[in-house]
A and B are shown apart, each in its own frame.
Chain A
Amino acid sequence: SALTQPASVSGSPGQSITISCTGSTSDIGGYDFVSWYQQHPGKAPKLMIYDVHKRPSGVSDRFSGSKSGNTASLTISGLQAEDEADYHCSSYTKTSPLGVFGTGTKVTVL
């Protein structure tokens, strides 16, 4: 089943926010294969974080990832208007040859 994310998170420009992504020992808790995707309205998702904390080339260092137990987190520091988007987590899972996505979080910049 889908990983659990909060439906929405908001913050003011310049603040830091954290999005959680909770799974189980079959996925997040058992493997360091967590990734995060940013999706602006009407656009395709974009890879922001992979392997829990790694950033692809070109992704701002304001984005960081971590994991504790069965929960992964994405932190956005120095929040900017352009960060307003939906964010989806994903993880490898031993229960399926396909991966598993989170329920998605809408980030609003106040």
Chain B
Amino acid sequence: EVQLVESGGGLTQRGGSLILSCAASGFTVSNSFMTWVRQAPGKGLEYVSVIYSGGISYYADSVKGRFTISRDNSNNTLFLQMNNLRAEDTAVYYCARLISRDYLESWGQGALVTVSS
């Protein structure tokens, strides 16, 4: 059974940093396309970043240069390093397994990130 478990959310001040982790089971992260999707309070879903199985990564313009997606193959875990956080980054962050740039097959439970100004 595929399972994704996120951790690392919390409260930080503007300009601060946080790292989110997403521990995967039931499949191999390094062989998959993985994404981070966020949802601001009362808002819709927004793609934040994607990392392909080959290691290439992409970012939304709103986080480019501030966020870094990475993975630890030995621990089958996905990460999102978030630096220089802004109030508008406040959201629930979900990791998800992306199938062929097509659809998000499995989702984590979400991690709340709150940035105070």
| Chain A interface residues (CB < 8 Å from chain B) | 2, 33, 35, 37, 44-47, 50-51, 56, 88, 90, 92, 96-104
Question: A104 — nearest CB in chain B belongs to which residue?
Answer: B44
Number of A-B contacts (CB under 8 A): 61
| Chain B interface residues (CB < 8 Å from chain A) | 35, 37, 43-47, 49-50, 58-60, 94, 98-99, 101-110
Q: A35 contacts B44, CB within 8 Å?
A: no
Q: Which residues of B contact A35 (CB under 8 A)?
A: 102-104
B34 to chain A, nearest CB (A): 12
In angstroms, Cα B50 to Cα A96, docked, is: 11
In angstroms, Cα B4 to Cα A46, docked, is: 13
Q: Which residues of B contact A44 (CB under 8 A)?
A: 94, 107-110
Q: A97 contacts B104, CB within 8 Å?
A: no
* Given A98-B35, A101-B37, A102-B44, 12 more pairs with CB closer than 8 A: A33-B102, A33-B103, A44-B108, A47-B103, A47-B106, A51-B103, A56-B105, A88-B45, A92-B102, A98-B58, A100-B47, A101-B44
Q: Which residues of B contact A50 (CB under 8 A)?
A: 99, 102-103
